[in-house]
Structure 1
Amino acid sequence: MLVHKRVVRLNEKPRIRYGPMLIRDQERIANLNYIYNCNDIEALWMLRMKRAPFARLVQTFRSRGLLQDSIHTSVEEQVAMFLHVVGHNQRLRVVHNTFRRSMETISRYFKQVLYVVGELKGEMFKSPTGRTPTKIRTSPRWYPYFKINNIL
């Protein structure tokens, strides 16, 4: 009898036990609230953008129907993940830990936001003027590197 139980245990697939994700969800929500409700200096450090332009960007995506809230991820979080990757040159694995999301989720929303930014590139990006800004032209530290461009 004892051998039979042991054989059955060996042939069974190991059970995967899922614990409640309450602590993980609380950490993620606290992190998102910190990003959305911080001051402009913190927002610049985290998103490379102040809060008001971030809110306008999200509103533009939402009002034009380019991005939508999913069951578990808001448009704000999708854009914040994208800006974190692009603004800090972070790998998706790092953002995975910061936002407490799976690698697949981070990758999916990064691609979606990247596609939307590509769709709006005509409205979102200005063409370079070809002139050196005054701040650089008057700086002895930086102007020598840009002097060649002004001669040509």
Structure 2
Amino acid sequence: MPDQVDMISYITEENKRRKRKRIILTELYFEPVLLGMAYLISQRAPRAFRCFSDDEHKHTLRKYLLKDMYDGLEVACYDQLRLTKRNFHDLCTMLRERCGLRDSVYVAVEEKVAMFLLVVGHGLKMRLLRGTYKRSLGTISTHFSAVLRAILSMHGEFIKLPDANVQPPDDYKWKWF
């Protein structure tokens, strides 16, 4: 009988040891997993369901138009903006750094300059830009004026005034210059 009691106590102790081991492993495994899941859930952005509001749709359309215009083919950029992609990016950088033109809350400098170049380069009416860019006439006019002011502020770098000492040629066509 003492052997049986010893055997039962041994089995009981072994079961208790296994149970403690399971508890410790469970704590070591599940706590970090649950903490990690809680962190991921708290950091996750809301899911994007395919029901755009009107503003989100307009914003997506504008981003697509601009990306297609100045990140697309060189020919397409030149046809629309009358500048190569490199010149367009250089102009935007110059207007940012030298003239202080900044992104507004909803309109990037690239979009402002693109709208300006479409009006100046193609004689496009601002009402047509309103339909294309889904912006109000007031917004387009404000940003057009801001870009125009920025470009005019650099007139010393781009416009060379004629020298009064130089005699113009006798060519009859020269009078227009």
With structure 1 as the length reference, what TM-score do the two structures score?
0.69
Q: Cα offset for 1:126?
A: 4.6
1:114 to 2:148 alignment: yes
1:77 maps to a residue whose letter is E
Aligned with 2:111 (options 74, 77, 80): 77
Residues 40/127 of structure 1: CA separation in 2 closer, same or farther (3 Å cut): farther
**Where do 5+ consecutive residues of structure 1 fail to align?**
1-18, 132-146
Q: Deviations over 1:40-64 (max 9, x none)?
A: 2111111011010111111011112
1:89 to 94, 111, 123: 123
The residue that corresponds to 2:172 in the other structure is 148
In 1: Cα distance, 2:133 partner to 2:162 partner: 34
* Structure-2 residue corresponding to 1:23: 57
Q: For the residues of structure 2 that align with 1:97 and 1:49, how far apart are their CA atoms?
A: 23
Instruction: For 1:149 and 1:75, locate their aligned partners in 2 and report how far apart those are by CA, in whole Å.
Output: 40
Partner of 1:138: none
| Aligned residues: CA RMSD | 2.4
Gaps of 5+ in 2: 1-52
Name 1:56's counterpart in structure 2.
Answer: 90
Tell me the SS of whatever aligns to 1:21: helix
**Which of these residues, 94, 97, 101, is aligned with residue 67 of structure 1?**
101
Compute the displacement of 1:30 (Å).
0.9
Identical aligned residues as a percent: 32
Aligned residues: 119
Instruction: Determine the C-alpha separation between the residues in 1 that align with 2:162 and 2:77.
Output: 26
Correspondences of 1:132-143 after superposition (within 5 Å): none
Give the whole-Å Cα distance in 2 for the aligned partners of 1:82 and 1:62: 15
Secondary structure at 2:103's aligned position in 1?
Answer: coil
Paired residue for 2:138? Answer: 104
Are the structure 2 counterparts of residues 59 and 128 from structure 1 closer, same or farther at C-alpha, using a change threshold of 3 Å? same
Rg comparison, structure with higher value:
2
TM-score, normalised by the number of residues in structure 2: 0.60
Matched, 1:44 2:68: no
CA contact (8 A) 2:112 2:147 kept: yes
Q: Which amino acid aligns with 1:117?
A: I
Match of 2:46 in 1: none
Q: Would the aligned equivalents of 2:95 and 2:151 in 1 still touch at CA under 8 Å?
A: no
Question: Secondary structure, in 3 states, of the residue corresponding to 1:115?
Answer: helix
> Is the 2:99–2:150 contact (alpha carbons within 8 Å) kept by the matching residues of 1?
no
Deviation of the 1:68 alpha carbon:
0.4
How far apart, in 2, do the equivalents of 1:126 and 1:91 lie?
Answer: 30
